[in-house]
Amino acid sequence: MADARTTQEKIADYIKTKMPGARDLALSDFVQTAGGWSHEIFIFYANWTENGRAMRQGFCLRRDPGAGLLRELSSLAEQFRVIKALEHTAAPTPKGYWYEADPSLLGGPFFVMEKVEGEVPNPWSRAGKQFYGEAAKRGKLPRSFVEALASLHNLDWKAAGLDFIGVPRPGKDFALREIAKWETLISQSLRKPEPVLTEVLMWLKANAPEAPRLAFVHGAYRTGNLIVKDDAIAAIIDWELQVIGDPMYDVAYVLSDLNREGSPLLSCVVERDFFLDYYQQITGLTIDLEVCRYYEILYMMRSTAFWLSASGLFAEGRNKDLRLARTTYSVPVVLDMAARALGF
Amino acid sequence: MIPAKQLLGEIAESLRKVIAPAIAEPFPKAQAFMAAVILEFVARQVEERSDIADEKREALGDLFGSLSRLDRVNGIVGKGAVDEAELCRLIERLYGERKRLGEEAFGAANGAVRETLRKLLDQELKVAGKGEG
């Protein structure tokens, strides 16, 4: 018999099983957020009584819809394990509570984590740009932005048990593994030949840099993937692209024009010179701008892979979200950026 | 790029099945349903731009012709179709044979390929870019 319960009711029933001591548990402020291209995100509060006292706690639930942006490359199980591993480090991240692989519970695998209080202004919106621009003038958020990134690059990823996500061999292996990963997504998504992309891929393979040191790399470190509270980074979120790799990969993402859409500030929040100086000061690493330029082009290829995947899912009828359809027009635009970066 | 007819059909469906039913106000609700109806008519009117395909074909023909005349490179120019799929294969062969070709021949061929890639990209940007006007 079909399950007539709403998603909210199913989630409430699930949370009750996980908190058997919570009496009269009910959910409030239940919202499915508009963000999230790979997973559906639900934010809510659980309210209950315990020893006669009223209790309230915020949760965030990520569910795999089965046809998300990264297709088979996205693993909620891995994301949950990463969040659990980071709980005991200096990196600001939400606490992870429960992971469920069983699709019968909510229609797909999901995990539940802490709802970290704060806000995530959209850096592409006018209001978001204004928010980050004003915070930049006050100076505290740009420092926190750099410090949170440094907390990832400075952490002992072996001691944190993060090597399960895969450790590249010395030399060019990191860059080549990244290229291979996104080439897999491209081959799953491609609906027509893309010779410009072929040229970009071949150039990337022919010019892969060596990674002189390895760090824990977020893979999409930018405003929009950071929860901000009181002008500080309260949590780094969106854990689905992390790798053990060259820390310059994250630095390049911060430096990239892809993440500032006309703002003079990196990631719409931090002055370039301040970022370069302060990052080097608190990590002890030297930023290699030539290598960063290479990774910026790799990100353009990765963005192309994302948009080919998104528009492909829509064209194949596997995902009806019109935001995915719109990305069909983003493919030539990002390939144009890559071509210009390569001089043609 | 997703074909225009398919996109218009999907947007009409979204308007009819997702957007309009979620609107409570009668006037905007009716507007959303009407937009779906009009888009279905528009989908029957539109044709994909043939000028883009024509320009691409011409650019590809010129490239394959000129590469066939380039010493050392002519051996890796395929004898089959002159299209974007073949250009992808040619690019892969060029990089694969780079050592044998030598930097000078590789550079000349790669330069010609990139010039053509720019032409192909410019055609796609007629639709996806900021517009031709």
Q: Low-confidence residues of chain A, pLDDT below 70?
A: 1-2, 35-36
The answer to whether residue A121 is domain-embedded is no
SS3 A16: helix
Q: What is the pLDDT of residues B19-43, one digit of tens each?
A: 999 999 999 999 999 999 999 999 9
Q: What is the pLDDT of residues B68-87, one digit of tens each?
A: 998 889 888 988 889 999 99
The answer to whether residues A267 and A138 belong to one domain is yes
The answer to whether residue A120 is domain-embedded is no
The answer to whether residues A168 and A303 belong to one domain is yes
The answer to whether residues A16 and A159 belong to one domain is no
Å from A326 to nearest chain B CA? 9
- B→A contacts (Cβ < 8 Å), by residue, are 1-2, 6-7, 10-11, 13-14, 18, 83-85, 87-88, 91-92, 94-95, 98, 113-115, 117-118, 120-121, 124-125, 127-129
* Residue of A140, A123, A137, A60 whose CA lies nearest to A95: A60
pLDDT band at residue B133 under the 50/70/90 scheme:
very low
CATH label of the domain that carries residue A214: 3.90.1200.10
Interface test with A, best of B7, B11, B94 (most A CBs within 10 A): B7
- Which amino acid, one-letter code, is at A138? R
The answer to whether residue A324 is domain-embedded is yes
The answer to whether residues B60 and B40 belong to one domain is no
- A105 lies in which domain range? 7-114
User: Do the chains contact at A193 and B84, CB–CB below 8 Å?
Assistant: yes
Phi, psi of A265 (to 5 degrees): -95, 140
Question: Length of chain B in residues, anyone?
Answer: 133
pTM of the model: 0.92
Closest Cβ opposite residue A336 in set B1, B6, B121: B121
pLDDT value of position A36: 67
Are the CB atoms for B101 and B109 separated by under 8 Å? yes
The answer to whether residues B67 and B106 belong to one domain is yes
Torsion of CA B31, B32, B33, B34, to 10 degrees: 50
CATH label of the domain that carries residue A64: 3.30.200.20
User: Do the chains contact at A343 and B128, CB–CB below 8 Å?
Assistant: no
User: Which residues of chain A have a CB within 8 Å of the CB of B128?
Assistant: 328-333
Are the CB atoms for B121 and A339 separated by under 8 Å? yes
User: Which residues of chain A have a CB within 8 Å of the CB of B125?
Assistant: 332-333, 336
* Residue of A274, A270, A289 whose CA lies nearest to A145: A270
User: Which residues of chain A have a CB within 8 Å of the CB of B98?
Assistant: 206
pLDDT value of position B129: 85
Total count of domains within chain B: 2
SS3 A58: strand
pLDDT band at residue B64 under the 50/70/90 scheme:
very high
Check pLDDT > 70 for residue B100.
Answer: yes
Whose structure tokens read 């010609």?
A: B112
pLDDT band at residue B1 under the 50/70/90 scheme:
confident
Are the CB atoms for A54 and A80 separated by under 8 Å? no
Tell me the C-alpha distance between A217 and A77, whole Å.
Answer: 18
- B21 lies in which domain range? 4-45
The answer to whether residue A247 is domain-embedded is yes
Tell me the C-alpha distance between A172 and A146, whole Å.
Answer: 26
Closest Cβ opposite residue A202 in set B11, B87, B92: B92
A238: left (phi over 0), alpha (psi -120 to 50) or beta: left
Residue of A nearest to B120 (CA): A196
Q: Looking at this predicted complex, what is its ipTM?
A: 0.89
Q: What is the pLDDT of residues A74-99, one digit of tens each?
A: 889 999 999 999 999 999 999 999 99
* Helical pair A289-315 and A248-255, crossing angle rounded to 10 deg: 70
Total count of domains within chain A: 2
**Residue B44 tokens, joined:** 């029957």
- Enumerate residues 6+ apart whose C-beta is below 8 A from A279: A146, A149, A150, A251, A285, A287
